[in-house]
Structure 1
Amino acid sequence: MDIAGGCATLQELELHRCTDLALRPVSAFAHLQILRIVAASSPLYGTSEDGGVTDIGLTILAHGCKRLVKLELVGCEGSYDGIAAVGRCCAMLEELTIAEHRMDGGWLAALAFCGNLKTLRLQGCARIDDDPCQLRDRHALHALFLVCEGARELLVQNCWGLEDDMFALAGLCRRVKLLSLEGCSLLTTRGVESVVTSWNDLQSLQVVACNKIKDEEMTGALSELFSNLKELKWRPDNKSLLAASLVGTGMGKKGRVFFKRILPGHQRVKGKVLNYPAGVAA
């Protein structure tokens, strides 16, 4: 409360070893927009005698910080009720990160109350939601994408169990502008293409360390998509010959780009072969 009194215009706050009780004075920060909470009972700090962050703390937070735009919850407990309170009260919330959570089954469905959510990040979660979401279960993943069908950014990192048929469910999120795939070892070129070519709003694509995605499997539809992107980072493996950036080669303009039988150290774009220093594409 003392800090809030002296920092009337504070917009960003990070709290560690947080408990329900510690969240009571947070409502005094009237202009708070960005909040990161690391619970006292998170894996970072182990079990705390004072408890952690539960539905009680999330509800206090929701009613006190109605101007939140970005919220990160690390190691928090709670359930459907706590997340629903955040969604109902924080109408301006655009970005939500859930990391290493300890929430009860069924919490995921409460995301439907986050009507303006553009970005959802799930990090370091050994499980997502026992009821109904495990990423290895098709029906559960379908439920996740239904709840998040309005998301603008989708980032999938080190999700080694995600294969083509499962990733195809992401096609439900038709408003995605940014897709980042990193460390998804089972995804293939065909699986990525089946989704991204159906997204009319896609502007940025990042594919890193996904070893089953190959340059030689590039199709006309995918290369045409590349030519219309504003940002492209394409490093699926260390053998890829497609440069990480296509600035100056026509990317961002309508037209078709072809990649076929390119010799090492060269890049073919719209019928022309461009040279670049060894190692640039890798």
Structure 2
Amino acid sequence: MRGADLINLALPDELLDDVLRRVGVGSDGATSKRDLDACALVCRRWHRLERASRRRAKLAASGARADEVVRLVAERFPALVDVSVDERLTVGNAASGAGGASCARASRSRSRRSAQSSTPFRRRRRLPHITGLAFQTSPFPLDQPAGDDGTERNCLTDVGLAHLARGCRRLEKLSLIWCSAITSTGLVSIAENCKNLTSLDLQACYIGDQGLIAVGEGCKLLNYLNLRFVEGTTDEGLIGLVKNCGKSLVSLAIATCVWLTDASLHAVGSHCPNLETLSLESDRIQNQGIISVAKGCRLLKTLKLQCMGAGDEALDAIGSFCLLLEILSLNNFERFTDRSLSSIAKGCKNLTDLILNDCQLLTDRSLEFVARSCKKLARVKINGCQSMDTAALEHIGRWCPGLLELSLIYCPRIQNSAFLEIGRGCSLLMSLYLVDCSRISDDALCHIAQGCKNLTELSIRRGYEIGDKALISIAENCKSLRELTLQFCEKVSDVGVMAIAESCSSLRKLNLCGCQLITDSGLTAIARGCPDLVSLDISVLRVIGDMALAEIGEGCPKLKDIALSHCPAVTNVGLSHLVRGCQQLESCQMVYCKQVSSAGVATVVSSCSKLKKLLVEEWKVSERTQRRAGSILTFLCTGL
């Protein structure tokens, strides 16, 4: 600092530490790593205090020295309470979430360390300054284990997890995603040292029973547990865990744990009276397991089920005992009938969210039961329930005035008349998603537009009967529209798009992929009428050319994401105009643009300093561009 250092002289460590804890904290409680990194660079004192007060870290777990990296993190940031370790992360991905500047330094330091390989080990083992908590990855494949020749395993192991456990004893949240080398031994270290642990995510880790039992014995405050794809666990492990810490457990997720049976769910029902959220995907679970949970976990508010062996008896129990249920998701059930939802409707009056995926035996009567009894219903998603007809949606329109979100995916029997009731009765509707609903045409959307004037998000995919008439009605009535998707709506032309541009100036996301009647004129109208646009997809628009890109570059300075793949008329000239004005661009997709060359790719890379992802053909990338921006380049896979 120049001049008098008034802050450091006036503020003691305790007050400065409190200030650093509040830096960059958003409304969701998350802290900006960039702001913290900036504070750490002010002076040595701020650097020391910032290290001592850092609360969150997201680490890339792949790399030949992953254990060493985790050890250094635990030593330098002892106050960490929230740590996420993801073996799928690369340097580039870690940079976006944990300090890009640090990743750049790590990349530069890597080449320097290679050149200094003859220096003593004590100096070579030093890693770059860990400000953003983003680390380099190994050049070896992620699934390569330690070899017989002594080759070091290229991912986080129990050794690194033990370092974390001993160095960060105040740990409250730990997420281990796809950490393939972690075993029960590492989890025992966490259980013995981190007594304040409240959240544990073990997605796709091969953890055995002893690790879960140890967590149950050592972490009595645990309230969130994710066991999705944890294949090494049997009934013994989960039963041992819930017997010891089941009373504190609030959320439990289980998916494809092939050795878990109804015995585990019986233990959950017996020992987890405060459970509020249960997500369960299993082919081995039968009715009795779900009935045990329903009887023992009467505070359930969220229930997501995909259990091929369960039937109506299971949901009968849910409707009878779980009277506080708010969110219900039923997926791929072949044995559930209308009887199931009738039971839910009778008992679960607080239901707000209903998701039905591929429940083939459910008919219109199911939604009638729910609509008449569950007056708080706000979000409905129906996917692939082919036995449901127009009447199902009419019941929702008549009996659910508080509906906010409606999603219909592959519902070929629902016709336009259903949306007349939705438009009349659901004036608060804000989001509408229609995918592969072949009988829905302009009339349906006109009903929605005239009745649901608060619509902010409209997504239509493969709406082959949707055209300009619908868009004109949306533009006239829904002035607050912010997100619009019209993928492969082949009847939409410049006329409809111009109406949207003229009336919906607050539009932020627009997807026109496959709307082949749209020309430069339509996109020019969008560029001039929607200056707040941040996301634009104009892929597969074969007549779009450089004029449209020039207008977008001039009129949409806030644009962050653009997709213009399969646009044969776009050239390097159009790209240069686009990037000159869109300096905020972070993501760009432009494969199969045959008139774009390596010079155009280089122009995008050199002009967009904030670019994080560029999808392009590999042969269009020059060696210089590869050296300059290798971490953000994603190549089209053409060898499949």
Match of 1:33 in 2: 326
Task: Provide Cα deviations, 1:236-275, integer angstroms capped at 9, x if missing partner.
Answer: 32666649x98xx6328xxxxxxxx992321358x95975
Partners of 2:447 and 2:582 in 1: how far apart? Answer: 45
| Structure 1 SS opposite 2:408 | strand
8 A contact 1:121–1:155 mirrored in 2: no
8 A contact 2:416–2:439 mirrored in 1: no
| Structure 2 SS opposite 1:276 | helix
Higher relative contact order (CA 8 A, sep 6+): 1
Say whether 1:178 aligns with 2:506: no
Match of 2:408 in 1: 122
Say whether 1:212 aligns with 2:517: yes
Task: Provide Cα deviations, 1:21-52, integer angstroms capped at 9, x if missing partner.
Answer: 442122333443332223644xxxxxxxx5x4
Counterpart pick for 1:103 among 376, 388, 398: 388
8 A contact 1:106–1:131 mirrored in 2: no
Say whether 1:86 aligns with 2:370: yes
The one-letter code sitting in structure 1 at the alignment partner of 2:516 is: N
In the alignment of these two chains, the number of paired residues is: 258
* Shift in CA distance, 132/118, structure 1 to aligned 2, threshold 3 Å: closer
| Structure 2 SS opposite 1:160 | coil
Counterpart pick for 2:557 among 230, 250, 260: 250
1:115 Cα deviation from its structure 2 partner: 2.1
Match of 1:44 in 2: none
| Structure 2 SS opposite 1:96 | strand
1:197 Cα deviation from its structure 2 partner: 3.9
Partners of 1:121 and 1:197 in 2: how far apart? Answer: 27
Match of 2:356 in 1: 73
Match of 1:263 in 2: 573
| Structure 2 SS opposite 1:218 | helix
Q: TM-score, normalised by structure 1?
A: 0.69
Counterpart pick for 2:458 among 141, 154, 179: 154
Partners of 1:273 and 1:10 in 2: how far apart? Answer: 44
The one-letter code sitting in structure 1 at the alignment partner of 2:604 is: Y
Match of 2:258 in 1: none
Partners of 1:64 and 1:175 in 2: how far apart? Answer: 37
1:200 Cα deviation from its structure 2 partner: 6.2
Counterpart pick for 1:232 among 535, 545, 549: 535
Partners of 1:238 and 1:137 in 2: how far apart? Answer: 22
Match of 1:164 in 2: 468
1:156 Cα deviation from its structure 2 partner: 0.8
Partners of 1:179 and 1:199 in 2: how far apart? Answer: 10
Say whether 1:59 aligns with 2:369: no
| Structure 2 SS opposite 1:72 | strand
1:120 Cα deviation from its structure 2 partner: 1.1
Considering only CA atoms, is the larger Rg found in Structure 1 or Structure 2?
2
The one-letter code sitting in structure 2 at the alignment partner of 1:2 is: S
Task: Provide Cα deviations, 1:52-73, integer angstroms capped at 9, x if missing partner.
Answer: 432x433322333333332212
Task: Provide Cα deviations, 1:81-114, integer angstroms capped at 9, x if missing partner.
Answer: 5434433443443321112221244232222232
The one-letter code sitting in structure 2 at the alignment partner of 1:189 is: D
Match of 1:276 in 2: 604
Further displaced range: 188-197 or 271-280: 271-280
Partners of 2:505 and 2:511 in 1: how far apart? Answer: 16
Match of 1:14 in 2: 305
Counterpart pick for 2:495 among 190, 195, 198: 190
Partners of 1:214 and 1:78 in 2: how far apart? Answer: 43
* Shift in CA distance, 200/268, structure 1 to aligned 2, threshold 3 Å: closer
8 A contact 1:37–1:72 mirrored in 2: yes
The one-letter code sitting in structure 1 at the alignment partner of 2:379 is: E
8 A contact 1:72–1:98 mirrored in 2: yes
8 A contact 1:23–1:61 mirrored in 2: yes
| Structure 2 SS opposite 1:108 | helix
Task: Provide Cα deviations, 1:110-165, integer angstroms capped at 9, x if missing partner.
Answer: 22232222221110122214855774555455445556555443211122332222
8 A contact 1:262–1:268 mirrored in 2: no
Kindly indicate which of the two structures has a greater share of residues assigned to helix: 2
Partners of 2:480 and 2:522 in 1: how far apart? Answer: 26
1:180 Cα deviation from its structure 2 partner: 2.1
1:186 Cα deviation from its structure 2 partner: 2.7
The one-letter code sitting in structure 2 at the alignment partner of 1:160 is: Y
| Structure 1 SS opposite 2:469 | helix
8 A contact 1:120–1:154 mirrored in 2: no
Unaligned runs of 5+ in 1: 42-49, 253-260
| Structure 2 SS opposite 1:3 | helix
8 A contact 2:325–2:350 mirrored in 1: yes
Task: Provide Cα deviations, 1:179-200, integer angstroms capped at 9, x if missing partner.
Answer: 2222223322331332464346
Kindly indicate which of the two structures has a greater share of residues assigned to strand: 1
Partners of 1:129 and 1:273 in 2: how far apart? Answer: 42
1:224 Cα deviation from its structure 2 partner: 3.6
The one-letter code sitting in structure 2 at the alignment partner of 1:266 is: S
Give the % identical residues: 21
Partners of 2:517 and 2:459 in 1: how far apart? Answer: 18
8 A contact 2:457–2:481 mirrored in 1: yes
8 A contact 2:518–2:541 mirrored in 1: no
* Shift in CA distance, 7/63, structure 1 to aligned 2, threshold 3 Å: closer
* Shift in CA distance, 224/210, structure 1 to aligned 2, threshold 3 Å: same
8 A contact 1:226–1:251 mirrored in 2: no
8 A contact 1:135–1:141 mirrored in 2: no
* Shift in CA distance, 21/210, structure 1 to aligned 2, threshold 3 Å: farther
Further displaced range: 128-137 or 23-32: 128-137
Aligned CA-pair RMSD = 4.1
